[in-house]
């Protein structure tokens, strides 16, 4: 039986036995998002910011409306604060390249970051002589607030940037970033929230979070791949130099001087993935409706926590299962089976049409900190139900038995 949400997804309609538990990698796409892409090319295709004909004008309008939809979704003050990039990774690289960080400046982050919120900073550490420091983790994998406060006391005003994952893609823990941002603001530290994982699991309100920048990818929130978002406070984006240069992002080009375009277009060089940006907005509008229909984000979280807990309870009964980290898990569980390699587990689960990810999940330093050679990860999306969890457990039991 395919549940009513799955019925909105062509991939589940066509593959009713598919047990997709890899939404932290990428989510499946509802029909309304796929239709939006088709509709763009069939009815509205023209380049943006260029044409004077009606079709181009309507493409322009759709592009700006997509920015407005995102702004509303994350409660930004204006579409000018919403830059469309390729994905979270590009948004973070943009910041690493454009923020005025110099030798001696300290960037604070954690050991649980996805490589996308680690490697751009390590790169400028090497190039510009800034220093990347890591907030410790507790045994559960939760961020150690005391370690953060010790660093604040020790390094004080040398800290220029705090960049934190809102939700660990391995542990499923929602990090209390507001608490850290509050302290950072008091000492004038810029703050970035990597919402790549949290965007599909909780409501995001940039004003409530109080962050300066926030990034996420469309494909992790039921939208198409190839488009992502950088939110930045307008006053900061105004002062930030563009990362990529070329078409669309300039007003006036002379060989001797250049005038950048207005926000947010200043940061959107070249022809963007127009259909993807428009379809991302369709995805957010769709999700907003779906969340409302289950009773809001709080209720959605409760349902997700109940399903996660059910999976954890069932897993605890399988001999040899080791769960990675502790804390409250929001739809993401990483695990190992004693004496079994994660890649073998994922391969065998695939025999039962169960899709999970195996390996480091782009968070190798976290696995090293926890002393693990990788893990298998189950991650839930809005479409998953108890039936999926049961099939997953049956398949896991099969693996555990095989290797016992």
Smallest gap from Cβ 287 to other proteins, in A, equals 32
Which of these segments, 226-234, 255-263, 334-342, 377-385, binds other proteins (CB under 8 A)?
334-342
- Which CB, 188 or 339, lies closer to other proteins? 339
In angstroms, what is the minimal distance from the CB of 341 to other proteins?
Answer: 4
**Is residue 351 involved in binding other proteins (CB under 8 A)?**
yes
Work out the burial of residue 383: count CB atoms within 10 Å of its CB; fewer than 13 is exposed, 13-18 middle, 19 or more buried. Answer: buried
Nearer to other proteins among residue 295 and residue 373 (C-beta): 373
Task: Write the binding mask 286 to 325 for other proteins: x where contact by CB under 8 A, - elsewhere.
Answer: ----------------------------------------
Three-class secondary structure of residue 310 per DSSP: helix
- 100 contacts other proteins (rule: CB under 8 A): no
Verify binding: residue 238, other proteins, rule CB under 8 A: no
Strands (E), 266-399: 321-323, 332-337, 354-355, 357-359, 375-379
- Cβ-based nearer residue to other proteins, 78 or 350: 350
**In the bound complex, what is the minimum distance in angstroms from residue 143's beta carbon to other proteins?**
26
Using rule CB under 8 A, residue 350 touches other proteins = yes
Cβ proximity to other proteins, 250 vs 348, nearer residue: 348
CA-angle at 26, arms to 219 and 276, nearest 5°: 20
Closest to other proteins by CB, 271 vs 347, is: 347
What's phi and psi for 215, nearest 5 deg?
-130, 150
Residue 351's nearest CA partner among 404, 391, 307 is 391
User: Applying CB under 8 A, does 134 fall inside the site for other proteins?
Assistant: no
CB-based contacts of 81, cutoff 8 Å, min separation 6: 71, 231, 232, 233, 234, 237, 263, 264
The count of other CB atoms within 10 Å of the CB of residue 185 is 15
Determine whether 362 is an active site residue: yes
Instruction: Specify which residues 163 forms β-bridges with.
Output: 192
Indicate the pairing of strand 375-379 with strand 332-337.
Answer: antiparallel
Of the pair 136, 397, the CB lying nearest other proteins is at: 397
The answer to whether 333 and 377 are in contact (CB under 8 A) is yes
Give the C-alpha separation, 83 to 233, whole Å: 11
**Which residue out of 362, 393, 396, 399 is catalytically annotated?**
362
* Residue at token pair 């555990």: 400
One of 64, 340, 353, 394 touching other proteins (CB under 8 A): 340
Compute the least distance from the CB of residue 363 to other proteins, in Å. 14
- 374 touches other proteins (CB under 8 A): yes
Q: Which of 10, 51, 359, 365 binds other proteins (CB under 8 A)?
A: 359
Q: In which element (H, E) is residue 155 found?
A: helix 145-155
Window of 189-197, 245-253, 294-302, 338-346 that interacts with other proteins by CB under 8 A? 338-346
Residue 334 Cα distances to 105, 316, 325, 337, 360, angstroms: 35, 13, 8, 11, 10
**Interface positions with other proteins (CB under 8 A):** 339-341, 343-344, 347-348, 350-351, 359, 373-374, 402-403
Catalytic residues: 362
């Amino acid at each position: 039986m395919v549940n009513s949400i799955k019925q909105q997804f062509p991939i589940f309609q066509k593959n009713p036995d598919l047990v997709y538990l890899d939404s932290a990698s990428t989510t499946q796409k509802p029909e309304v998002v796929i239709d939006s892409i088709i509709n763009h090319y069939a009815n509205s295709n023209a380049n943006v910011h260029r044409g004077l004909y009606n079709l181009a004008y309507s493409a322009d309008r759709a592009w700006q409306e997509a920015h407005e939809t995102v702004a509303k979704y994350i409660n930004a003050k204006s579409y000018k604060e919403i830059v469309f990039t390729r994905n979270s990774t590009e948004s973070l690289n943009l910041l690493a390249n454009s923020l005025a960080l110099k030798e001696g400046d300290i960037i604070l982050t954690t050991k649980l970051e996805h490589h996308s919120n680690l490697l751009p900073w390590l790169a400028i550490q090497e190039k510009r002589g800034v220093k990347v420091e890591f907030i410790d983790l507790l045994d559960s994998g939760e961020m150690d607030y005391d370690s953060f406060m010790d660093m604040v006391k020790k390094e004080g005003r040398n800290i220029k940037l705090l960049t934190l994952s809102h939700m660990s893609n391995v542990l499923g823990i929602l990090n209390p970033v507001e608490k850290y941002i509050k302290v950072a603001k008091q000492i004038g530290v810029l703050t970035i929230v990597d919402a790549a994982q949290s965007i599909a699991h909780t409501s995001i309100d940039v004003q409530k979070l109080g962050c300066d920048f926030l990034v996420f990818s469309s494909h992790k929130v039921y939208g198409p791949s190839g488009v992502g978002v950088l939110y930045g406070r307008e006053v900061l984006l105004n002062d930030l130099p563009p990362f990529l240069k070329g078409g669309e992002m300039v007003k006036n080009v002379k060989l001797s001087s250049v005038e950048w375009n207005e926000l947010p277009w200043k940061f959107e060089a070249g022809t963007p993935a127009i259909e993807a940006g428009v379809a991302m907005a369709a995805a957010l509008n769709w999700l907003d409706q779906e969340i409302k229909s289950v009773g809001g984000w709080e209720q959605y979280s409760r349902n997700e926590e109940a399903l996660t807990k059910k999976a954890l309870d069932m897993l605890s009964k399988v001999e040899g299962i080791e769960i990675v980290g502790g804390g409250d898990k929001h739809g993401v569980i990483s695990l190992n089976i004693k004496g079994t390699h994660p890649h073998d587990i994922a391969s065998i689960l695939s025999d039962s049409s169960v899709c999970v990810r195996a390996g480091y999940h782009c968070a190798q330093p976290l696995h090293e900190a926890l002393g693990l050679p990788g893990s298998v990860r189950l991650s839930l999306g809005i479409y998953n139900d108890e039936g999926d969890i049961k099939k997953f457990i049956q398949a896991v039991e099969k693996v555990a038995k095989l290797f016992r």
